[in-house]
A and B are shown apart, each in its own frame.
Chain A
Amino acid sequence: AQSVTQPDIHITVSEGASLELRCNYSYGATPYLFWYVQSPGQGLQLLLKYFSGDTLVQGIKGFEAEFKRSQSSFNLRKPSVHWSDAAEYFCAVAGNNAGNMLTFGGGTRLMVKP
């Protein structure tokens, strides 16, 4: 069965600083990987996804993520964080059974200092 680990429960960065959120996965075949963001009181919104091809994927809101098979990682990055980026971020891997069955990591809560 697949699993996802997000080692950092909380991260605080200053506005304008760069950001990297870590994600490690365990999956027996080629993974399908996702990053979702959850703003307070809201549902989850897809930031970006990786299925195949270029290992560096671009998403919305200036985010990008890089798939590294050798490290089983799919870290999320942003060069300059804005105060509006404060939210909870979830990494997820798609299952290999019928249907779009995602397995989510525990999430990383991002706080942005002015």
Chain B
Amino acid sequence: NAGVTQTPKFRILKIGQSMTLQCTQDMNHNYMYWYRQDPGMGLKLIYYSVGAGITDKGEVPNGYNVSRSTTEDFPLRLELAAPSQTSVYFCASSPTDGYNEKLFFGSGTQLSVL
């Protein structure tokens, strides 16, 4: 199994550009998440989805949008990139919302906005 796959691995954007970070999972998980990781700050939840067609905001949603048209895919969109969005982005999934379920993480996308 591929698990959770993120593309691209690296990207440099100019201020004001837009881009979509792709995330797909092949485990038929209902729950999917987007986190950003800043040095020394741990991971912050941006958006999450409990199933196809359902998304909700996490702790730091401003400047981002998501969609969930299929169970497999959960893309994250940056409309007007800003330097504050320079970070490492992780997509994750889990089978249910039970507390005994672990998260499966992708390998991350390193984004720089200059």
Which A residues are closer than 8 A to B by beta carbons? Answer: 4, 6, 9, 32, 34, 41-46, 49, 51, 90, 94, 98-102, 104-107
Compute how far the CA of A43 lies from the CA of B44 in the bound complex, rounded to whole angstroms: 14
Q: Kindly list chain A residues whose C-beta atoms are within 8 Å of the C-beta of B43.
A: 44, 90, 102, 104
Instruction: Check A100–B58 contact: CB distance below 8 A.
Output: no
Which B residues are closer than 8 A to A by beta carbons? Answer: 4, 31, 40-45, 48, 50, 56, 58, 90, 92, 94, 96-103, 105-108
Q: Kindly list chain B residues whose C-beta atoms are within 8 Å of the C-beta of A105.
A: 42
Q: Kindly list chain B residues whose C-beta atoms are within 8 Å of the C-beta of A104.
A: 42-44
> Looking across the interface, which residue of chain A has its beta carbon closest to that of B4?
A43
Of B40, B48, B105, the residue contacting A107 (CB under 8 A) is B40
Compute how far the CA of A24 lies from the CA of B108 in the bound complex, rounded to whole angstroms: 27
Q: Kindly list chain B residues whose C-beta atoms are within 8 Å of the C-beta of A45.
A: 105
Compute how far the CA of A99 lies from the CA of B83 in the bound complex, rounded to whole angstroms: 30
Compute how far the CA of A105 lies from the CA of B100 in the bound complex, rounded to whole angstroms: 19
Compute how far the CA of A93 lies from the CA of B29 in the bound complex, rounded to whole angstroms: 21
> Looking across the interface, which residue of chain A has its beta carbon closest to that of B6?
A43
Instruction: Check B45–A100 contact: CB distance below 8 A.
Output: no
Additional pairs, 9, CB under 8 Å, beyond known A43-B105, A44-B43, A99-B31: A9-B40, A44-B105, A49-B100, A98-B50, A99-B48, A100-B97, A100-B103, A104-B42, A104-B44
| Shortest Cβ gap from A110 to chain B (Å) | 15
Compute how far the CA of A73 lies from the CA of B88 in the bound complex, rounded to whole angstroms: 28
Instruction: Check A94–B99 contact: CB distance below 8 A.
Output: yes
Q: Kindly list chain B residues whose C-beta atoms are within 8 Å of the C-beta of A98.
A: 50, 97
Contact (A102, B107) CB under 8 Å given A44-B90, A90-B43, A107-B40: no
